[in-house]
Amino acid sequence: MTTNSVTSSATGPNKGVSRQAIFVGILLAVGLIAPFAVYPVFLMKGLCFALFAAAFNLLLGYVGLLSFGHAMFFGWSAYITAHAAKEWGLTPEIAVLLGTFCAAGMGAVVGWLAIRRQGIYFAMITLALAQLMYFVALQAPFTHGEDGIQGVPRGHLFGVIDLSDTLNMYYFVFGVFALALFFLYRVVNSPFGQVLKAIRDNEPRAISLGYQVDRYKLIAFIISAALSGTAGSVKSLVFQLASLTDVHWHASGEVVLMTLLGGVGTIFGPTAGAYLVVTIQNYFATLGSWVTIIQGVIFVICVLAFRAGIVGVLRPFLKKRGIEA
Amino acid sequence: MADDYIVETKNLTKEFKGFVAVSDVNLKVKRHTIHALIGPNGAGKTTCFNLITKFLPLSRGTILLNGRDITNTAPADIAQLGMVRSFQISAVFGHLTALENVRVALQRKLGTSFHFWKSDTSLAELNDRAEQLLEDVGVLEYRDIPAGELSYGRKRALEIATTLALEPEMLLLDEPMAGMGTEDVARTAELIRRVSKDRTILMVEHNLSVVADLSDTITVLKLGKVLAEGPYSEISQNPEVIEAYMGHGVGSHA
């Protein structure tokens, strides 16, 4: 009798689950056939940023923490993966895992320092530490400063599948993305996720119920950092390059923009936001610095007209149909 | 002797940069009673609350809970010792449904609250208990509504259900009736009376008529000090109290 009650507060649960399955199935299918219709490198770039934004969204959307330094996880993992693949000749999956673990480690340290503060102070501490790591990246010899690590070999996945083939590379990126998004979905909809949402909604109350909120925040921070790292690692293989752009604070700002445009606290919002921003950057690139202005205008419109972001606006509509977006 | 009192404070003092908000308060809350803390604005009632539940560090003094010194205990650990507080602004988790609100309180004892790899359907075993708690406070019909969309009175009721989920021996209610209409006040008073069975309640309240009916003991604070203590009948006759707090309004309130 209790089984049907948890999954969804929306409509009839069984119907809801199957519609959800169809919805996710369609998205997967779109992801699988997309490279035959759209330029794959563009798609991969979008997926990398989508994963980055989704990881960032775990903190902003489900814990209520605005980190302004996530580029350090994204960019540093790119360096680590690039270095591991190029200099040590590691296979891509190991190199990506290494990048992810390093990001998790950095996340543990940065998170431990930052979560003692809230709001703007939290954002400032993360920004300060990210700037510190930016200058380390600028000075450290192995990052090659302004040049970055170039010509990173994509290598052979598990030593067999040749990733220099664009389609192979695409499906690798897509697979990583889909797994990571599922993992994030699971985290958000877990006993742990319930506590996170409670902390986001009312931290003092969560404390008064006996939750040591700092531990929950720290774990969420580490998960977010780790997956941001995964995104950066994969990106360095896609473009065969790890550069200062990805550790720069611009990248930290961009991920905030993507998450807010797409819909903070939604599952697919960051993906939508990431593709929107990447599209603007790619297809309006000829407009030069106007791109920033266009982004700014879109952001202002978004904040004024639909605050919940693209997916946030669609969400009530989908929810009525038993789909959680 | 010591067993008669569930909470005792000794010389409880809080100073904020030269301003003494709470000064040498010796509070003794008797087990299984409703104890009210009243006083004019700025008397230090809420500060007292925050000190006792460790949301604020104290400047001086000791706090005993069941004879155990909790002066240096972390706020999250206080709940595990059986003392749970509410807040002045109704404290619900606005984006979670009413059921989930109560379940958040229940789920800690499952020991899976750090399990981020597990589906939240594993929490379903708590639903019966959560529904029962919602039923107890009369909000079961709203179980699937996000708590943020409930009316003020129902949020309060939900908050009490969430608190009761922890089965605390001691409840601290910070102005449970603040901002309520008369109907909700009566309902909440009834609820408090009902849950006070086998429990101890310490509450801050402005509404005198409510306090008069509900509480066994009243402590009157003024400028951070205890002005008087006793049952309502006694307090209401105390000339100092009348002057400091009740003014000319005593008769009309009671």
- pLDDT category of residue B3 using cuts at 50, 70 and 90: low
- Which of the pair, B242 or A297, is modelled with greater confidence? A297
- What pLDDT is stored for residue A7 in this prediction? 40
**Domain membership flag for residue A4:** no
Cα nearest neighbour of B171 on chain A? A208
Contact B20, B14 (CB under 8 A): yes
CB-CB under 8 Å, A189 with B92: no
What is the C-alpha end-to-end distance of chain B, expressed in Å?
Answer: 34
- What pLDDT is stored for residue A222 in this prediction? 97
Q: How far apart are CA B216 and CA B35, in angstroms?
A: 6
**Domain membership flag for residue A5:** no
Q: How far apart are CA A68 and CA A129, in angstroms?
A: 10
Average pLDDT on A232-252 reads 92
- pLDDT category of residue A17 using cuts at 50, 70 and 90: low
Model confidence pLDDT, tens digit, residues B18-45: 888 888 899 899 999 999 998 887 788 8
CB-CB under 8 Å, B121 with A6: yes
Contact B95, A197 (CB under 8 A): yes
**Domain membership flag for residue A271:** yes
CB-CB under 8 Å, A190 with B53: no
Q: Is A14 on the interface with B (CB under 8 A)?
A: no
Contact A261, A302 (CB under 8 A): yes
**Residues of chain B with pLDDT > 90: what percent?**
25
- pLDDT category of residue A303 using cuts at 50, 70 and 90: confident
Average pLDDT on B90-118 reads 90
CA-based nearest residue to A191, from A219, A172, A170: A219
CB-CB under 8 Å, B104 with A198: yes
**Domain membership flag for residue A6:** no
Nearest to B105 among A187, A193, A209 (CB): A209
Inter-CA distances, A41 with A3, A46, A122, A254, Å: 44, 9, 35, 19
CB-CB under 8 Å, A210 with B123: no
Nearest to A210 among B79, B100, B127 (CB): B79
Which residue is listed with tokens 């909440």? B188
- What pLDDT is stored for residue B245 in this prediction? 63
What is the interface pTM, i.e. ipTM, of the complex?
0.83
Partners of A266 on chain B (C-beta within 8 Å) are none
CATH number for A100: 1.10.3470
**Domain membership flag for residue A193:** yes
CA-based nearest residue to B251, from B239, B241, B236, B240: B236
Nearest to A191 among B75, B115, B144 (CB): B115
- What pLDDT is stored for residue A315 in this prediction? 86
CA count, 13 A, side-chain hemisphere, B57: 3
Domain span at A64: 12-320
- What pLDDT is stored for residue A112 in this prediction? 95
Partners of A207 on chain B (C-beta within 8 Å) are 55, 75-76, 79
Neighbours of A30 (CB within 10 A): 10
- pLDDT category of residue A237 using cuts at 50, 70 and 90: very high
Cα nearest neighbour of B93 on chain A? A201
**Surface-to-core class of residue A265, CB atoms within 10 Å of its CB (0-12 exposed, 13-18 middle, 19+ buried):** buried
Q: How far apart are CA A299 and CA A307, in angstroms?
A: 10
- What pLDDT is stored for residue B117 in this prediction? 86
**Domain membership flag for residue A325:** no
Question: Domains of chain B (ranges plus CATH)?
Answer: 2-253 (3.40.50.300)
- pLDDT category of residue A2 using cuts at 50, 70 and 90: very low
Average pLDDT on A83-92 reads 89
How many separate domains does chain A show?
Answer: 1
**Residues of chain A with pLDDT > 90: what percent?**
55
Average pLDDT on B73-98 reads 88
**Domain membership flag for residue A171:** yes
CB-CB under 8 Å, B104 with A206: yes
